[in-house]
Amino acid sequence: MTTDTTTETTATAGGERHAFEAEVSRLLHLMVHAVYSNKDIFLRELISNAADACEKLRYLSLSEPGLLPPGHDGFRIEIAADAAKNTLTISDNGIGMSREEMKDNLGTIARSGTRAFLDQLADKGGEQKQGQALIGQFGVGFYSAFMVADRVRVVSRKAGSEEAFAWVSDGKGTFELSPADLAEAPAAGTRVTLELSADAATYAEEATIERIVREYSAHVPVPIRLAAADGEARELADGAALWVKPKASVTPEEYKEFYGHVGGLWDDPALTIHYRAEGRHEYSVLLFVPSQKPFDLFDPDRRGRIRLYVRRVFIADDAAILPAWLRFVRGVVDSEDLPLNLSREMLQQNPVLEQIGKGVTNRVLAELGKLADNDAEAYAKVWDAFGAVIKEGLYEAPERRDEIYKVARFQTTGHDGWRSLGAYVAAMKENQTAIYYALGESRAAVLASPQLEGYVARGLEVLVLTDPVDAFWVRTALGYEGKPFKSISQGAADLDLIPLPAAAEQPDGDTDVGPLAVALKAALGDKVAAVRASARLATSAVCLVASDYGLDRRTEKLMARGTGGAPSSAVLEINPRHELIRALAKVEAERGETAVADAAVLLYGQARILDGEAPEDPADFAARLGRLMQAGLG
């Protein structure tokens, strides 16, 4: 999806002046005035962009060597500072940009995601760390240059092109785009020159630049050089790939820096996975599990963010190495076996990459399991953030269900916090034959459900499932350790072998409500599939449940919303121990079916309300309730 990048174009002497989108102008103002207290991050963003440009050209030149200009002696990023002129320049010899690419990439932000980004930015206010995360996740780092610059000039030449263009803006509403003199343009690549503001003069000092590069960009896979005042070029980073280094030689600080570079995130990673696989296929892996949700976690495309390299040559930044249900993982996989001319089309069908994907997925699940076993508190935070995504695997990857079950955690009625299925099964009651679950929009809604009463009264633990994906995976789940999953709102409750405690029993036992059930069904007709006595109710008079072979009530509602249809008729269960049901059974026995007709509609309406829905006919429900109240007062 694309959007118009400008709202106004005006001819100038050397080119055209364009107006930023209104949203872009608003964003620039917020970035400069509201997001950052530490402005160092702008240099990291510009270096990351330059490194990505070099990697793209490195890849394309494998199949098109002519893209590399004559005399090309390796990819690099060069930084030059001029304290006298108060300028800072970041140059690369990467892929470069055409005129249209400069207009699109520098004249608009995050394309269709701009408004969402702005909403998030406004919500976060001036929180520095949150602001940094927002910038990284929405790909708008270039604009951070305006935090320190009164004016930014970009000169770029697309690799293989005979034309170069200049983009100039003060970030206050417009930008100019014009042809650039080839003499001032790189042979290929981009040069960004910042005319620093008075309060940002320190960024033209070599010591400041060295500090920032070492702190934020020391491990980008492209060498970084600083053009010193004495005319010598000093190397600040050697471009050595962190992922090929031995794990023991990498410090936590280096991992954190690289995580920021490759993941575009600013939280501390909850888990770092670094290893080299040898054997049939050889590859290096450096992956990170974030500790906070990225903003694209529930993007409809569900794309991964794993960078694929082949012998340290960048191939793709969104390779489908991990399944979609592990898309929150960030990092790098570098293969020794894949061909360097691997195309995006071949990526989807390459058997070697498929085997690598299986191996990496196995390792990620194993490391998540270790974290869960060794640090339950840290793992609880990971599951809080990504549990809903991991559970997609229970539906999409049935062959991995047992592995996912081991790392899955659930809220239950019997415990606070997260609970494993292993712990649930170990605590099952005598004669309990199934793992019970309840679907709902929230924990509070589930705990208020009348269908839950009989289970709680018997001390049975019930899984509380509130993520939308839960309604789908439980339908196909065969069970865990021989115990099937069973909804508390579907079919007959198999609770007869687990008696109520004595305190919950009525002194004279259950009432025979068979005739009353027949009378209620006759009054309600097709509104309900059946009326029967309930073993699952403890304190409520009625509830609605799905039939034995129907969908769970929550699942059926979700599917009905998607198709625009209506759920099928439910079963009305009545509580033979409830005083109201006892009284109605007595009335029916003495006066016949017609005496409970109004009560039938009211009980059905009450059951719908308890199920989170309005009575089918609110006006009729209110009229019948009014008549009943009037009769009671007469």
Feature table: binding site for ATP: 45, 49, 92, 97, 105, 112-113, 137-142, 190, 344
Annotated binding-site residues read 45, 49, 92, 97, 105, 112-113, 137-142, 190, 344
Rounded to whole angstroms, the Cα distance separating 53 from 62 reads: 15
Q: Judging by DSSP bridges, how do beta strands 189-196 and 149-157 pair with one another?
A: antiparallel
Tokens, residue 435 = 């793992």
Rounded to whole angstroms, the Cα distance separating 410 from 417 reads: 8
Contacts of 19 (CB under 8 A, 6+ apart): 6, 7, 8, 9, 173, 174
Whether residue 215 contacts residue 146, with contact meaning beta carbons closer than 8 Å, is answered with: no
The C-alpha angle with vertex 549 and arms to 546 and 552, in degrees rounded to 5, equals 40
Tokens, residue 375 = 């640090």
Whether residue 203 contacts residue 107, with contact meaning beta carbons closer than 8 Å, is answered with: no
SS3 content of the chain, % helix, strand, coil (to 5): 45, 20, 35
Whether residue 443 contacts residue 419, with contact meaning beta carbons closer than 8 Å, is answered with: no
For residue 436, list its beta bridge partners.
486
Q: Please report the DSSP string for 24-61 in residue order.
A: HHHHHHHIIIII-S-TTHHHHHHHHHHHHHHHHHHHHH
Contacts of 314 (CB under 8 A, 6+ apart): 55, 56, 58, 59, 221, 307, 308
* Consecutive H or E run containing 118: helix 114-124
- At 457, which amino acid appears? A
What Cα–Cα distance (Å) separates residue 195 from each residue in 49, 84, 186, 369, 437? 19, 11, 19, 51, 62
Rounded to whole angstroms, the Cα distance separating 197 from 222 reads: 29
Residue from 408, 417, 466, 468 nearest 437 by CA? 466
Rounded to whole angstroms, the Cα distance separating 328 from 295 reads: 10
Whether residue 313 contacts residue 59, with contact meaning beta carbons closer than 8 Å, is answered with: yes
Whether residue 186 contacts residue 80, with contact meaning beta carbons closer than 8 Å, is answered with: no
Q: Exposed (0-12), middle (13-18) or buried (19+): which is 406, by Cβ within 10 Å?
A: middle
Q: What are phi and psi for residue 379, nearest 5 degrees?
A: -70, -35
Rounded to whole angstroms, the Cα distance separating 555 from 474 reads: 10
